């Protein structure tokens, strides 16, 4: 007897990144508002700065801390992501990996720059915590960048931490590019392990940004959230998750069964 059971698509895997994208964007907006308003999220910024400023590491410890911080530099993150995306494309995964990386890197560059310029916060190295927000900052910055011979932009651009954002985008996305369904070596269990491991450099870079007194504590938090936003946008472009190969095989088998033919026929 032929089954007429309707096979419904599993939409939860598709909706989940979109839901988390909204959550991450809302959290980023809340932290940005707290920075602008000097709210409770920024309460630890000055005490942490006052603690770490006179206790900067030296010698090998400083070299190690800087090396960790550089894991969030674009000179490291961009070649890594582009290389993995091209590798996945050459492995027959189509254009999605490349488009996902371009989406992540492009949206981070645009959103990160606009946030930095619009918020206008001083870095802790200046010894003062001043925020001079305004859309006019963006206009002045755009003029400095786009108009030949214009005076350079002299505003402050400390919030959020770009290194923290780069790390939060790069290392989880690298895990998906390696072991996700559209990655180089699709494997659900390895993907879960790699995603867990990717949190280590993400946490380390943001921590070093504060320990080395490059950024206020809330700026590392803002960088992580910005990175999460653009990561989830890239994840939506990349497509199915790491369990998709098995899910696709099950869906194919069920479709054949619904059509009335044996799973192995044809």
**What average pLDDT does this structure show over 215-222?**
98
pLDDT digits (tens, 9 = 90+) for 72-131: 999 999 999 999 999 999 999 999 999 999 999 999 999 999 999 999 999 999 999 999
Count up the domains in the chain and report the number.
Answer: 1
pLDDT for 240 equals 65
pLDDT for 247 equals 47
More confident: 131 or 243: 131
In a domain, 88, yes or no: yes
Domain that includes residue 21, residue range: 14-130+157-239
pLDDT for 7 equals 40
In a domain, 51, yes or no: yes
pLDDT for 112 equals 97
In a domain, 245, yes or no: no
Cα–Cα distance for residue pair 101/155, rounded to 1 Å: 30
**What average pLDDT does this structure show over 233-252?**
63
pLDDT for 51 equals 97
In a domain, 225, yes or no: yes
In a domain, 204, yes or no: yes
In a domain, 262, yes or no: no
pLDDT for 67 equals 98
pLDDT for 94 equals 93
pLDDT for 244 equals 44
């Amino acid at each position: 007897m032929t089954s007429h059971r309707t096979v419904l698509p599993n939409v939860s895997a598709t909706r989940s990144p979109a839901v988390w994208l909204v959550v991450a964007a809302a959290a980023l907006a809340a932290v940005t508002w707290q920075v602008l308003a000097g709210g409770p999220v920024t309460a630890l910024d000055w005490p942490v700065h006052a603690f770490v400023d006179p206790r900067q590491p030296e010698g090998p410890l400083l070299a190690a801390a800087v090396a960790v911080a550089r894991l969030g530099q674009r000179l490291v993150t961009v070649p890594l992501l582009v290389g993995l995306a091209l590798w996945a494309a050459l492995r027959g995964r189509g254009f999605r990996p490349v488009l996902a990386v371009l989406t992540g890197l492009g949206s981070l560059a645009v959103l990160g720059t606009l946030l930095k310029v619009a918020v206008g916060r001083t870095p802790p190295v200046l010894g003062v915590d001043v925020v001079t927000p305004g859309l006019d900052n963006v206009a002045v910055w755009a003029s400095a960048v786009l108009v030949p011979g214009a005076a350079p932009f002299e505003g402050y651009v400390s919030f959020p931490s770009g290194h923290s954002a780069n790390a939060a985008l790069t290392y989880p996305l690298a895990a998906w590019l390696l072991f996700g369904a559209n990655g180089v070596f699709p494997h659900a269990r390895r993907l879960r392990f790699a995603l867990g491991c990717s949190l280590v450099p993400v946490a380390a870079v943001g921590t070093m940004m504060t320990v080395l007194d490059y950024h206020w504590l809330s700026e590392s938090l803002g960088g992580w959230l910005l990175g999460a936003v653009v990561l989830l946008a890239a994840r939506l472009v990349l497509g199915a998750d790491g369990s998709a190969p098995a899910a696709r095989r099950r869906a194919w088998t069920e479709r054949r069964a619904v059509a009335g033919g044996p799973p192995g026929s044809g």
